[in-house]
A = this chain, B = another copy of it.
Amino acid sequence: MERMSEALQRGAGDDLESRVKRAGGVLTIDLDAIVANWRLVTARLRPGSRCAGVVKADAYGLGMAQVAPALASAGCRRFFVATIDEGLALRTLLPEAEIMVLCGPFAGTEHDFLAHRLLPILNSPQQVADWAQFARRREQPLPAVLHVDTAMSRLGLNFNQAKAVAEDRATLAAVPPALVMSHLACADDPDHPLNSGQLAAFAAARTLFPGIEGSIAASSGIFLGPDWHADWVRPGAALYGLRPTPRSLNPMAQVARLQGRIVQLRDVDEGKTVGYGATHRVVAKARLATVAVGYADGIFRALGNRGCGHVGERRVPLVGRVSMDLVVFDVTGVPADEVRPGGFIDLIGPRQSVDDLARDAHTIGYEVLTALGSRYYRHYLGRTEE
C-alpha cells in the first residue's frame, strides 16, 4: 500500500524551498520548546520521581520521528506509546529507549514485543494470562507493566483482579511487574472528588505489589501536586504546549504555529454570501481572504462562523463554513500591505493558542493537535540534528 507522501517523494522538486512554495499551510514545531517543557515538568517533581515522555498518536500529531529523539537527547529514557505499530516505529528511532505500549499485546503480537523490546502494559486478566503463558513457553520471565483501573472504566485491572494477580505466584514469576500504573479521569479539575478517590485506590492497589514502582499522573495530574508524582510521571499534552492547568495561566512554552496561505483576496459588496449553505452574509462592503487550509487539514468544520485567525496582532474572523481545502477570513480593515496573496494568516500562533482554537471548536487542544493533517509543510525548529 502506497500513501500519498511516498508517491510524492518520487516526484521532482522536493527541495525545501520548492516544498514551502507549494504548501497551502505551514506548521512550525519548536523542538526546543518541547524539551523546555519536559525540563519544566521534571523540575517540578518531588525528589525521586522521574519524567517519561508520551509520544503516542505521532507525538500528538507533531511528529514522533522528530519529537522522540529530541526528548531522548534531553535525557528522557522512558516513552509511552498507544499502539504496537507506534512502539515498533519508536524502536527504529531510539534503539536504547524504554518503550511501554498502552494497548498491551493483542493475540499473536507477543513476538513483536519481545523482538523489539517493547514493554507491554497489561490491562486485563486475559492480557496478563496470555503474556504469562507466552513467558512460560519461552521459559524466561518477561516483565510487563500492570495497569490498574481506579475510575476510568476503560483499561486496567480492577482491585480484585489485581489482587488475584498479586496472589498468583506462578504468574508473578513469569511476569515480573516493571511498574504499576493507573490513569486519572478528572485531573484537569483539581476540585473533583474522583481525584483523591483515585489516589487512594491506587495506593491500595500498590500495596499488592510491594517494591514495584508506580505511576498515576499525566500532564494535569502532575500539577495537582507532589502527592501524585509517585515514581514516574507521564506527560504528553504539557510537553506539546497544551495548558495542563485550566484554571490558571499556561506554564508551558508554546510549541506549534500554524499558518495558512492566502490564495485570493476579494472585495465583496453588502448582501453577498460566503461559502457552502450561504451561512454568512456580508453586511457592509468587505474584504475577504481565502486561505488554502480546510477541514481535511484538521481545521474543524465546527469553527465555521466561529473561529478566527490573526494577521500580526489583528484578529480576523472566520466567515462562512469551513470547506475541505479552504477557509475564508474577513480581513476588512487590515492594512492592504499586511495581507497579500501568497502571504499567510496565523491559525495557531502568538495570539491564538491551540487551546484557544479548540475552545472555538467546542473541543480540547488534544484533538486539535492530533487532527493536524498531512498536507502542511512541516518546519522543525531546534534540535533536529542532535
Contact = CB atoms under 8 A, between A and B. Distances in A.
Interface of A: 1-8, 10-13, 18-19, 21-24, 56-58, 60-61, 63-66, 82-86, 88-93, 102-104, 106-109, 111-112, 115-116, 123-124, 126-127, 149, 151-155, 158, 185-186, 189, 192, 194, 261, 263-266, 268, 272-278, 282, 288, 290, 292, 295-296, 298, 300-302, 320, 323-326, 328, 341-342, 362-364, 366-367, 370-371, 373-375, 378, 380
Given A2-B66, A153-B274, A302-B302, 4 more contacts: A7-B90, A11-B88, A153-B273, A154-B290
B112 A302 contact: no
A278 B18 contact: no
A164 to B, nearest CB: 15
A114 to B, nearest CB: 11
A238 to B, nearest CB: 14
B155 A264 contact: yes
Contacts of A194: 273, 278
22 contacts: A4-B86, A7-B65, A8-B88, A10-B92, A11-B88, A11-B89, A13-B112, A56-B296, A126-B264, A152-B275, A152-B276, A153-B272, A153-B275, A154-B275, A185-B275, A186-B276, A194-B273, A295-B366, A296-B370, A301-B364, A302-B363, A324-B366
A341 B126 contact: yes
Contacts of A89: 4-5, 7-8, 11
